[in-house]
């Protein structure tokens, strides 16, 4: 488990101070694929560098599995870092070394035997599907293949945590998906906790189970991915969610709505109770329900959906009261 308690980080350079993190509290549980999203400058990289203690907090504490990192001497920090793998946007492979040698680096540093290194490197190459590239050099590989090697190297010392710093930002959408699938496999098969920082909500949507939204050094919203996508609270979170889920009525659709005197427009969330409530509106209140627009999006292994309906007829007022007192989330649109 990773825990940040009241963490602030102030960089001082040439007499100016930048507060990169401000009183951040965060908990990443074992087995999570935890996403941290924010625009450039929000403090995401600083946050991830605090987890492997490449940066120290100015105030506050970082805990890994309950251990306070500020109490670790340098020698123990080295051991700790073996337990935390990291992958990067630009892969950070050594171009003068072969793929085999790149993956072997952390094992050589850990003073493993030649035989153990060989076995582990070949096992990792097999895991990432690139056994035939052992003798190639990084510049002979595609971006996606380079990131697979970056992942193999990060896993070499059997870490229990994997940090991903914009790991798919330099890749095309299809390659991004294959890398995300690989990360999911790592999480499931090796039970490795993964922390991903990104500026793309689609990454969070595809593989994360929890998410923190950062802005100007602060965590402004945090929670279960399905809850945050279904009901974002902060304006910035809503804007991030809108990059992948269209939850507002598009102008082209709005222009085509037939105006019926006395009718009312509602945005409702899909849930297991939605069908029941709509059937009640039709059967009990004899109201016309016109479906104007609907979206359904897959979020990790679940779905989030919204639809916009128009209620019309003589009994609209009673139907609206019923809708508003039901368990489904309904918001009237002007």
Interacting positions 3-32 with ligand ADP (CB under 6 A):
11, 13, 18, 20
- Closest distance between ligand ADP and the C-beta of residue 18, in Å? 5
State the nearest-atom distance from the C-beta of 122 to ligand ADP, in Å.
35
* Sheet strands side by side (includes 67-68): 16-28, 2-13, 59-64, 67-68
Q: Report residue 170: phi and psi, to 5°.
A: -95, 10
Q: Which of residues 298-317 bind ligand ADP (CB under 6 A)?
A: none
- Does position 211 bind ligand ADP by CB under 6 A? no
Is 98 a residue that touches ligand ADP (CB under 6 A)?
A: no
């951040």: which residue's tokens?
24
Whichever of 44 and 206 has its CB closer to ligand ADP, that residue is 44
Residues 45-84, mask of contacts with ligand ADP (x by CB under 6 A): xx--------------------------------------
Query: Count of H helices and E strands in the chain?
Result: 12, 14
40 lines the binding site for ligand ADP (CB under 6 A): yes
Q: What are phi and psi of 196, to 5 degrees?
A: -115, 130
Nearer to ligand ADP (CB atom), residue 46 or residue 288? 46
Smallest distance from the beta carbon of 69 to ligand ADP, in angstroms? Answer: 18
Binding footprint of ligand ADP, residue count (CB under 6 A): 12
Q: How far is it, in rounded angstroms, from Cα 270 to Cα 296?
A: 8
Beta-sheet strands, E only, within 14-112: 16-28, 33-37, 59-64, 67-68, 84-88
Measured between alpha carbons, how far is residue 229 from residues 37, 89, 295, 301, 306 in Å? 13, 25, 13, 13, 11
Our CB check for ligand ADP shows the closer of 8 and 178 to be 8
Window of 36-44, 136-144, 259-267, 322-330 that interacts with ligand ADP by CB under 6 A: 36-44
Place of tokens 């035989």: 115
Which member of 24, 33, 38, 104 binds ligand ADP (CB under 6 A)? 38
- Cross-sheet strand order for the sheet of 161-165: 84-88, 161-165, 193-198, 33-37, 210-215, 218-224
In the complex, the residues that contact ligand ADP under the rule CB under 6 A are 11, 13, 18, 20, 38, 40-46
């Amino acid at each position: 488990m990773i825990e940040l308690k009241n963490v602030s980080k102030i960089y001082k350079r040439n007499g100016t101070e930048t507060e990169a993190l401000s009183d951040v509290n965060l908990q990443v549980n074992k087995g999570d694929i935890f996403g941290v999203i924010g625009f450039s400058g929000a403090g995401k990289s600083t946050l991830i560098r605090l987890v492997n203690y490449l940066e120290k907090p100015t105030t506050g504490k970082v805990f890994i599995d309950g251990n306070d990192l500020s109490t670790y001497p340098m020698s123990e920090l080295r051991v700790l870092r073996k337990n935390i793998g990291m992958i990067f946007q630009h892969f950070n492979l050594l171009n003068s070394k072969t793929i085999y040698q790149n993956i072997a680096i952390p094992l050589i540093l850990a003073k493993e035997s030649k035989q153990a290194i060989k076995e582990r490197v070949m096992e990792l190459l097999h895991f990432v599907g690139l056994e035939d590239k052992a003798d190639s050099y990084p510049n002979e590989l595609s971006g996606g293949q380079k990131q697979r090697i970056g992942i193999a190297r990060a896993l070499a010392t059997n870490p229990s945590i994997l940090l991903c710093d914009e790991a798919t930002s330099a890749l095309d959408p299809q390659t991004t998906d294959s890398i995300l699938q690989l990360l999911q496999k790592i999480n499931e098969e090796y039970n490795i906790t993964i922390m991903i920082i990104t500026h793309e909500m689609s990454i969070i949507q595809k593989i994360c189970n929890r998410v923190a939204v950062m802005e100007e050094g602060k965590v402004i919203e945090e929670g279960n991915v399905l809850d945050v996508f279904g009901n974002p609270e902060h304006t910035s979170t809503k804007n991030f969610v809108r990059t992948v889920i269209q939850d507002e009525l598009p102008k082209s659709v709005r222009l085509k709505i037939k105006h019926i005197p006395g009718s009312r427009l509602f945005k409702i969330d899909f849930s297991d109770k939605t069908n029941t409530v709509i059937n009640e509106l039709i059967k009990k209140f004899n109201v016309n329900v016109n479906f104007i627009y609907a979206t359904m999006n897959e979020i990790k292994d679940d779905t989030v959906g919204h639809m916009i309906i128009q209620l019309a007829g003589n009994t609209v007022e009673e139907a609206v009261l019923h809708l508003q007192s039901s368990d489904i989330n309904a918001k009237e649109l002007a």
